[in-house]
Amino acid sequence: MNDNLRHALNTARLQPADVAAHLAVDPKTVHRWLKGRIPYPRHRWGIADLLQVEEAELWPDIAQQQRPLNDEVLAIYPHRWAVPRATWRHLFQSATGEIGILTYSGLFLAEDAGLIRLLAQKARTGVRVRVLVGDPDAPSVAARGIDETIGADVMASRVQNALTLYRPLADIENAEIRLHRTVLYNSIYRADTDLLVNCHAYGTPAAQAPVMHLRAMEQEAAAATYLASFERVWGNAEVYSQAS
């Protein structure tokens, strides 16, 4: 019997049928999970996302088996969409000094109104929040749209939509939005020394590409390289003007 899953469903006021509909599985399958059967990883991630909890809270035994690869590499997800929504929230919620977002549009985050409120709340409490998105007119943005096979105009529109949704942050002290014209090899999402790095692959949408969860432990380690990359892009980016 999975009492953790049952309790989480009760807390969220959801029935097994709701979970089944969300994951497009038979309700009997959900009942088997409640009785103790372990779902496939994609279903565990989907349930954790639906309930807005960490996967480890629902299946602690699995979490113990999936220990970090080392002190710096905490996890590797096969796709960005496989990162539970709760993990994104936990990342930014954990920040005490610094939050950074470096991407072309980051629309999947910008569309989460709760996450935007979280970023605003963090900024108001003194956390430095920096958001870097691509300049809609930059050749690098157009090229990325072509690479992802969605087209240059679509990518530019995604950036514009993201800017509209991120815009409330620009009015808050400690929060700033800048536009970059850099060719990104990765998107970087940081909270203090913890990072989610979304690798880019030619011809593959970012949502389909892998994500590494890293923690900066030493100056010469991998996570520090990505932190330095973020700072370099930030230093060359232009402050976003809401009038633009």
- In tens, the pLDDT along 28-40 reads 999 999 988 888 8
What local confidence, expressed as pLDDT, does residue 63 receive?
Answer: 55
User: How many whole angstroms separate alpha carbon 70 and alpha carbon 139?
Assistant: 38
Name the phi and psi angles at 181, rounded to 5.
Answer: -120, 25
What local confidence, expressed as pLDDT, does residue 59 receive?
Answer: 83
Task: Express as a percent the part of the chain with pLDDT over 90.
Answer: 60
User: How many whole angstroms separate alpha carbon 168 and alpha carbon 230?
Assistant: 22
Q: Note whether 45 and 82 are within 8 A (CB).
A: yes
DSSP string, 31-100: HHHHTTPPPPHHHHHHHHHHHTS-HHHH-HHHHHHS--SSSSEEEEESSGGGS-HHHHHHHHHT-SSEEE
Rounded mean pLDDT of the chain? 89
- In tens, the pLDDT along 199-238 reads 999 989 999 999 999 988 766 678 889 999 999 999 999 9
Say which residue the tokens 């009038």 belong to.
243
Higher model confidence: residue 52 or residue 96? Answer: 96
Average pLDDT over residues 139-165: 92
Return all residues near 210 (Cβ < 8 A) that are at least 6 apart. Answer: 76, 77, 78, 79, 80, 198, 199
Burial of 237 (C-beta count, 10 Å sphere; 0-12/13-18/19+) = buried
DSSP string, 132-156: EEE-TT-HHHHHHHHHTTS-HHHHH
What local confidence, expressed as pLDDT, does residue 60 receive?
Answer: 79
What local confidence, expressed as pLDDT, does residue 69 receive?
Answer: 57
Higher model confidence: residue 224 or residue 86? Answer: 224
Nearest alpha-carbon partner for 89 in 13, 228, 3, 194: 194
Average pLDDT over residues 93-104: 96
Give me 123's structure tokens: 């900024």
What local confidence, expressed as pLDDT, does residue 200 receive?
Answer: 93
Least confident window among 63-72, 103-112, 132-141, 220-229: 63-72
Q: What are the CA-CA distances from residue 224 to residues 54, 56, 64, 228, 234 (Å)?
A: 26, 27, 27, 6, 15
User: How many whole angstroms separate alpha carbon 80 and alpha carbon 103?
Assistant: 13
Looking at the DSSP bridge assignments, the partners of residue 194 are 191, 215
Structural domains in the chain, CATH included, are 3-65 (1.10.260.40), 73-239 (3.30.870.10)
User: Model confidence at 116, in pLDDT bands (50, 70, 90)?
Assistant: very high
What local confidence, expressed as pLDDT, does residue 242 receive?
Answer: 64
What local confidence, expressed as pLDDT, does residue 84 receive?
Answer: 83
Give me 63's structure tokens: 């979490």
What local confidence, expressed as pLDDT, does residue 162 receive?
Answer: 95
